[in-house]
DNA sequence: CCCCGATTCTTTACACCGTAAAGACTGAAG
DNA sequence: CTTCAGTCTTTACGGTGTAAAGAATCGGGG
């Protein structure tokens, strides 16, 4: 086996880590200039390669963005699993915190017209993230008095958490912070709403 | 005052109701072919005018889409106000029902990178729709034992309703219907989750 | 060692997009 | 009748995603 030769930045051919570099450039543009700046030409330009250099690795723009969204779902699942050790109530907070920490990526992960939900890597990663929520819903289900179906409590929990995340990242919750007798920060508002 | 001459479809100039016709074409394309098909050229082509005919009325594509989104917020506010007479609990259902009945329009209404939230007509209409939810949150607030702040119950209610609407229109809730002992239809799932 | 196929990356080209600019046409007011 | 403001068309420009063909490089089998 040959040691990886620490990609020399001078050679124009065989970049060495182009896929990772493109994903990094895409994520950088996504968070710095918004989702509207996520063009194939902008990404490749930022990575210093020609406009069609992504095709051998990702096929087309949708493939690249789907792979990027997959890494987002992986990170989200990791965050939720880590939060589960701090008690089940904190995993909803972890969901919203991930969205607020990576607003562009979170938005991309739910842009069904920009990504391909059948993309292998993306399908696997999103299934893992969603199963975290399902496990949480099962755990939080009380005895038989409520008698809500598994699907209903899952939808209710996911809906509330996801809605708060979407509204918060879109800035639509900001008018509610700082109001009289209300929470002073977005985090506090979300935490209070999740009770 | 002169009677409006019932726009003759033969004269190429002075269409008569171009703004309304363009909005109708846009909405048609939006629901039939998805939000990705909402291009200025596609809309004007469908309306039978040249590609730049929308500029005098809407300025640019963002202006047209913002106006379309404004009509969506108006319809949503109407639906919620109508539902309020059937008891406060049904207005959340009205929110989700509107999203499911007009998935493309609902998606557009929250695409902050495709519309201009400062657009006059849009800002007015969305403020009206959001104030309906605020009123609902105020009405549903129980006595002092809960002691949740106004902002917190507003965020919780809006978040849950909006999250269910978004997940449902994106098809992410469909895998939950028809499961063992679960609701058989999307509507039933949403209604159960909103309890 | 050499060569050859597979892979990576570049250049070129094409169709499409949003929209700025300038011209043709129309309705109405003076 | 004249004029003017508003409407719609044509043309043109820079931008996009990506298909196609060529140059450069790597890896493995003679």
User: Is A113 part of the contact surface with chain B (CB cutoff 8 Å)?
Assistant: yes
User: From the candidates A99, A100, A144, A152, which should be mutated to test the interface with B, based on the most B CB atoms within 10 A?
Assistant: A152
Question: A53 vs chain B: nearest CA distance in angstroms?
Answer: 25
Average pLDDT over chain A reads 91
Residue B6, pLDDT score: 40
pLDDT at B142 over 70: no
Separation between Cα atoms, residue A9 and residue B59, nearest integer Å? 46
A to B CB pairs, distance under 8 Å: 128
Asked whether residue B37's C-beta has any atom of DNA/RNA strand C within 7 A, the reply is no
How much is the pTM?
Answer: 0.92
- CB-based contact B30:B104 (threshold 8 Å): yes
Residue whose Cα is closest to the C1' of D17? A40
Cβ–Cβ gap B151/A110 under 8 Å: no
Return the DSSP state at A2. P
Of A155, A165, A183, the CB nearest to B189: A155
Return the DSSP state at B141. -
pLDDT at A12 over 80: no
Asked whether residue A52's C-beta has any atom of DNA/RNA strand C within 7 A, the reply is yes
Taking alpha carbons only, the member of A104, A96, A103 closest to residue A190 is A96
Is residue A17 exposed (0-12), middle (13-18) or buried (19+ Cβ within 10 Å)? exposed
Taking alpha carbons only, the member of B24, B6, B34, B33 closest to residue B71 is B24
Residue A3, pLDDT score: 37
Spacing of C-alpha B44 from chain mean position: 22
Segment B33-41 mean pLDDT:
98
- CB-based contact B137:A192 (threshold 8 Å): no
Segment B87-112 mean pLDDT:
96
């Amino acid at each position: 086996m040959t040691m990886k030769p620490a990609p020399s930045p001078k050679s124009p051919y065989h970049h060495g880590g182009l896929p990772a570099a493109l994903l990094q450039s895409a994520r950088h543009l996504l968070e710095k200039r918004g989702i509207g700046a996520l063009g194939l030409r902008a990404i490749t330009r930022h990575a210093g390669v020609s406009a069609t250099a992504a095709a051998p690795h990702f096929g087309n723009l949708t493939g690249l963005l789907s792979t990027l969204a997959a890494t987002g779902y992986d990170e989200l699942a990791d965050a939720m699993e880590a939060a589960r050790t701090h008690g089940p109530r904190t995993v909803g907070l972890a969901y919203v915190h991930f969205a607020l920490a990576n607003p562009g990526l979170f938005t991309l992960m739910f842009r069904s017209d920009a990504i391909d939900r059948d993309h292998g890597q993306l399908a696997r990663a999103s299934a893992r993230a969603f199963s975290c929520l399902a496990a949480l819903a099962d755990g939080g289900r009380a005895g038989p008095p409520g008698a809500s179906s598994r699907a209903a409590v899952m939808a209710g929990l996911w809906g509330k958490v996801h809605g708060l995340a979407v509204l918060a990242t879109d800035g639509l919750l900001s008018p509610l912070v700082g109001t009289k007798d209300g929470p002073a920060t977005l985090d506090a508002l979300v935490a209070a709403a999740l009770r």
